Amino acid sequence: MKFSVQYLSFFVIQSEGTDSDGPKKYKHYQTLTHEEYQDSELKLFLDSEFKRIAKRKAEIHAASEQVPTKIGRFITEPGHDLTSNPNYNQFQRLRTAENKEEFHNFSDDVLRMYMETNSVRGGAFVLATAKLNELFDEPFLFLFKCDFESKIARISDERSLISQVEMAINAKNIKSIQYPHMPEEGMLEEWELKIHQASHARYFEDFLKFVSYEKSKPEIVTDQVMELVHHYMETKWQGTEAVEGADETEETVAMREEKQQFDVWVAGEKRELQEKWTHEHVVEATKQIVEVQPEIEMKFKLDDVSIKGHMDDYGKNIHIARVNGRYVVLIEGDSFQFDKGVSPIELLHPEELDEVLRRVGKGVRRVPTGEAPPLD
């Protein structure tokens, strides 16, 4: 996969004063044609990035809210095509620029829009169109942002040892946008773009005000769970309604309190077992979610022990119970696998489950008959 750069504009964003968090200004350094790019130092710095960005995988519904690479989609009103989207039109002007002056002017428009976002950092801002000649006639548009790296030095001489490198940039921390999105080689999605930003800051995507991002898988699951909770509440409290101005009954108070409990529960980052639904109810609820997202994960901790599996494992291979007043997680399977660091546990001949359950929650370690004496 070899990209051929058509035009490239290079800008530098700097602080107006000594405060790195203060107001920013930008300066256009150069706009290069294909031939000029071939002879530039920038070619060595950027050439491999085009391929890396194009091959970077992303999902419409990301695995988490904080993934670095996401797919955006241009927003349009129902019945309108892509040309009604301002961000799409800006990108298309860059892709169809007929000379380097046009490309520079259109690039300047995009950068000025970017400068209006919050928390803009100093660095290099690069826009480029590049063709994948073996597959497409139309070029891709790439936007790169390289933040300045602090405390970068180079070896100087025997006396001063090192010297500070000002305005240093690093290809490892490049933020990027690719349009159009190419989910597979030879396949283009003109409604979609791919954005990559390694940091948790979201400002690099904020300047594209007419691009939306689908909910992540955890967000979708949360919505599904809340729909199930809503249905549960409607069924449980059917016929119980709070009447404005009237005194609350015991039922309306209980209904309101339970709703508040659910609201607090779903908003919490660290949540505890709620003990509201039966095993059968939970199995039915997880079944509905797994039908939509078969690979959805299930992760939780019992005290300091982490358990990870698929939601579909609940009730099949992973079970939750109470024994002697304590929680118990039962995990069943056909084989164990131990990694790194040999331990005596690997030599265990497992007991029957009922033997284990006799001592669960009692805090007493059972010493089986015939056990080897402890090592001194």
The residue among 127, 102, 103 whose CA lies nearest residue 207 is 127
Judge whether residue 217 has pLDDT over 80: yes
Reported as a single tens digit per residue, the pLDDT across 75-111 is: 999 999 999 999 999 999 999 999 999 999 999 999 9
Q: What is the pLDDT of residues 106-140, one digit of tens each?
A: 999 999 999 988 778 888 999 999 998 888 889 99
Quote the pTM value.
0.75
As a whole number, mean pLDDT of residues 200-224 equals 84
- Taking the mean position of all CA atoms in its chain, how far away is CA 114? 22
Name the pLDDT band for 205 (thresholds 50, 70, 90).
confident
C-alpha 124 chain-centroid distance: 24
Closest of 288, 286, 287, 310 to residue 300, by C-alpha: 310
What pLDDT does residue 366 have? 41
What is the predicted pLDDT for the residue at 244? 63
pLDDT at 243 over 80: no
- C-alpha distances in angstroms, 292 versus 214, 220, 221, 289, 360? 16, 10, 9, 5, 37
| pLDDT tens track for 166-199 | 787 777 788 899 999 999 888 899 999 999 987 6
Q: What is the pLDDT of residue 365?
A: 44
Cα separation values, 257 from 177, 241, 262, 275, Å: 47, 13, 9, 15
pLDDT tier, 369 (very low <50, low <70, confident <90, very high otherwise): low
Assess contact for 49 and 34: CB atoms under 8 A.
no
pLDDT at 344 over 90: yes
